[in-house]
Amino acid sequence: MNKFVIPQEKGFAVGFFADGTEPENAISAEGLTLPSASAVHWIYENGVFTVDEATLSLERRSKLKALSKRQFALYLDGIKATENPDDETTLYDVILGLLTQNKKASLEYETVAYIERNSATVKALTTLLGWSEEYVDQMWLEALTL
């Protein structure tokens, strides 16, 4: 019978052991049923399983499809950078300006056909613009529809 093993020192569920062996300093729970999320998303503390939201969010983010540069550009060019009606600057203009200030990010952007959600460039832009990961995820999903 498989056993679900949780290392006590870290609290992360690490997998199933079909041969019945358990690592040192572990607890096991036979017949335990967890929701379908990957085992690494679960933390066991004080007899309770909880979801590790940071790990789960990172994995979900990594599964988002890449944007083509066309989708990236069209989406961001459709959003004004300011609320000033006379200012025609878009988020795409702002991002191109930021890319010129970072040679590595600029080279990455210029030489790829697709942009990955977890790329170093997207992470750097998210930080520079002060956006939350959730906000970027929502924008990403909208851009994928273009």
Alpha helices in 42-132 (DSSP H): 53-62, 69-77, 91-100, 103-111, 120-129
* Domain count for the chain: 2
CA distance 69 to 120: 15
Instruction: Kindly give, in sequence order, each residue whose CB lies less than 8 Å from that of residue 34, ignoring residues fewer than 6 positions away.
Output: 4, 13, 42, 49
- Quick one: 12 and 83 in the same domain? no
- Quick one: 27 and 83 in the same domain? no
Question: What is the predicted pLDDT for the residue at 63?
Answer: 85
- Quick one: 11 and 76 in the same domain? no
> Which residue range is the domain that position 14 belongs to?
3-60
- Quick one: 138 and 72 in the same domain? yes
Question: What is the predicted pLDDT for the residue at 126?
Answer: 92
- Quick one: 70 and 130 in the same domain? yes
Question: What is the predicted pLDDT for the residue at 47?
Answer: 64
Output 127-136 pairs: Cβ under 8 A, ≥24 positions apart: 128/98, 129/94, 129/98, 133/57, 133/61
Q: What is the DSSP string of 5-25?
A: EEETTT-B--EEETT----TT
- Quick one: 45 and 90 in the same domain? no
Question: What is the predicted pLDDT for the residue at 53?
Answer: 73
- Quick one: 136 and 71 in the same domain? yes
pLDDT by position in tens, the chain (length 146): 344 445 444 545 555 444 555 555 444 555 554 444 455 566 667 766 666 777 777 778 888 999 999 999 999 999 988 888 888 999 999 999 988 888 888 898 899 999 999 998 899 899 989 999 999 999 999 999 99
- Quick one: 44 and 8 in the same domain? yes
- Quick one: 39 and 96 in the same domain? no
Q: Which helix (H) or strand (E) holds 133?
A: helix 133-143
